[in-house]
Homo-oligomer: A and B are copies of this chain.
Amino acid sequence: MTGSTALLTDRYELTMVDAALQSGAAHRDSVFEAFARRLPDGRRYGIVAGTGRLLQLIADYRFGDDELEWLRTNAVVRPETLDWLADYRFSGDVWGYAEGEAYFPGSPLLTVESSFAEGVVLETLILSVLNYDASVASAASRMASVALGRPIAEMGSRRTNERSAVAAARAAYIAGFDATSNLEAGRTWGIPTMGTAAHAFTLLHDSEEQAFRAQVDAFGPGTTLLVDTYDIEKGVDLAVKVAGTGLGAVRIDSGDLPTVVQAVREQLDALGAVNTRITVTSDLDEYTIAALSGSPVDSYGVGTAVVTGSGSPAAGMVYKLVARTDDTGSWVAVAKSSAQKASVGGRKSAFRRLDSTRTAREEIVVLGDGPGGAAEDETDDASLRPLLVELMRAGEADPRFLGADGTARARAHREAVTQELPIEAFRLGRGEAVIPTTYR
């Protein structure tokens, strides 16, 4: 694998640049907007994620000699266009929803202001990051809500592409998860990592008892023992026998969980292991977590469902040209009118209207204003919380949104903004967006 991101791009982005450089339109000032026409199937809200990752990717986006040579050899664009690509460095402005913000249909999540050519080249990368990360975060937020404060860990790395796994761990953490099994996510994004042993560790040893002894010898009695390799009841007995009543936790990865968890709790208590926690990790999703709300579970581990967006593995975001200048430098709002895929032209700003209890009631998208340039009467209105923040200026990303600090900031923001949502937002059943989107 190459580290360069330049070719993580659909060919047509470069052929459009090529043709627009030839027609002269490539340098027209342009506004591109990323938004979702609808929320993932039946969800009440979405969570923006990927922004911090994306800003770094945009700032670093360059065509190196190897990429240019490949484009030349394969005649993807004309030689003059290769020169333009060789000098490429994004120099525009980016406004958007803060990472961790809730979003709704039509919310202008990301606004890119640059020349047409500078902005169009980033389309694929922007959508790849936002579609995947927001898909994970939107699903994870529902899971975190129904976990009701019990710790919840992401452990789905093996169920998604090896690099997606790192992004998924980050998105889930932003959306309220507490830890990940993925070590690279720990290193890159400062997320707490967790994990002790799989069934293979038990099978490796000559008996379950030898395996438990080996683990307790290595990590002490505070470790988590996996008790369902053979027989759960015998496994729990053995775990307490080996580790003592100070055993940290037992993990259950199979079976009818509400029944099994209740039985294991009673068994642990009867053995005197009253402080030993129970963690469950068996194909959980938001529905099975909710079904365990009355069970004595102490923590959850979620795999497949969270890294695949729990049925909605792509968030459905699109990136559209919404305004551009003409030959006189005047701005023109533009939109396509294709059947079922019409879009709303023009620059937009956005506000969330809150009622007197600080509960969100309406997503207001204001047409015609530039990002950050909302009319006075709207920004002075305390019931309107402005949603757009400046993410990049002249190609420089705001460092507050980058790296581990930006990730922690996004997680805190998601927690604050979900507290504003109406209680109906957290219902798991299918429904409409919990607040309407209104265009002004």
Minimum CB–CB distance from A151 to chain B (whole Å) comes to 15
Question: How many A residues have CB within 8 A of the partner chain?
Answer: 109
B interface footprint on A171-211 (CB within 8 Å = 1, 0 otherwise)? 00000000001111011100001111111111111100010
Does A254 lie within 8 Å of B338, measured CB to CB?
A: yes
Q: Which of B3, B23, B158, B228 contacts A1 (CB 8 A)?
A: B3
CA distance A327 to B205 in the complex (A): 10
Nearest B residue (CB) for A340? B254
Q: Interface segment, A127-135, A359-367, A368-376, A406-414?
A: A127-135
Q: Which of A9-17, A141-149, A286-294 contacts B (4 or more CB under 8 A)?
A: A9-17
Contact between A23 and B218 (Cβ–Cβ < 8 Å)? yes
Contact present for A183 and B25 (CB under 8 Å): no
Nearest residue, chain B, Cβ from A254 = B338
Chain B residues lying within 8 Å of A244, measured Cβ to Cβ, are none
A335 interface hit (Cβ, 8 Å) = yes
The answer to whether B321 touches A16, judged by C-beta atoms less than 8 angstroms apart, is no
Contacting residues, chain B, for A378 (C-beta < 8 A):
none
Name the segment of A88-96, A161-169, A425-433 touching the other chain: A161-169
Of B74, B157, B186, B253, the contact of A338 (CB 8 Å cutoff)? B253
The reply to whether B9 and A188 form a contact with Cβ atoms under 8 Å apart is no
Within 8 A of B (CB), among A226-241: 228-231
Question: Bound state CA distance, A309 and B304, in angstroms?
Answer: 13
Q: In the complex where A19-B201, A336-B203 touch, is A132 in contact with B164 (Cβ < 8 A)?
A: yes
Residues from chain B with a CB closer than 8 A to the CB of A120 are: 198, 200
Q: Hey, which chain B residues are within 8 Å of A357, CB to CB?
A: none
Q: Is A20 an interface residue (CB 8 A)?
A: yes
Mark interface residues in A47-71 (1 if CB within 8 Å of B CB, else 0): 0000000000100000000010011
What is the bound-complex CA distance between A219 and B16, given in angstroms? 11
Is A339 part of the binding interface, using a Cβ–Cβ cutoff of 8 Å?
yes
Q: Is B158 touching A10 in the complex (CB atoms < 8 A)?
A: yes
If the complex has contacts A2-B184, A195-B11, are A218 and B164 also in contact, measured as CB distance less than 8 A? no
B253–A341 touching, CB < 8 Å: yes
A183 touches B23 (CB 8 A): no
| A167 to chain B: closest residue by CB | B161
Residues of B contacting A128 with CB < 8 Å? 157-162, 164-165
Over the window 228-271 of chain A, the binary record of Cβ atoms lying under 8 Å from chain B Cβ atoms (1 yes, 0 no) is 11110000000000000000000001111000000000000000
> What per-residue 1/0 map shows which CB atoms of A11-38 lie under 8 Å from chain B?
1111110111011010010101000000
A124 within 8 A of B: yes
With a CB–CB cut-off of 8 A, which chain B residues contact A183? Answer: 7-11, 14, 70-71, 76
Among A116, A163, A193: residue with most chain B CB under 10 A: A163
**CB-CB < 8 A to A204: which residues of B?**
20, 25, 28, 30, 116, 321, 324, 334
The answer to whether the Cβ of A155 comes within 8 Å of any Cβ in the partner chain is: yes
Given the complex of chains A and B, what is the CA–CA distance between A74 and B185 in angstroms?
Answer: 13
B338 near A8: Cβ-Cβ < 8 Å: no
A320 at the interface (CB under 8 A from B): yes
**4 nearest CB pairs, A to B:** A12-B195, A23-B214, A127-B158, A163-B163
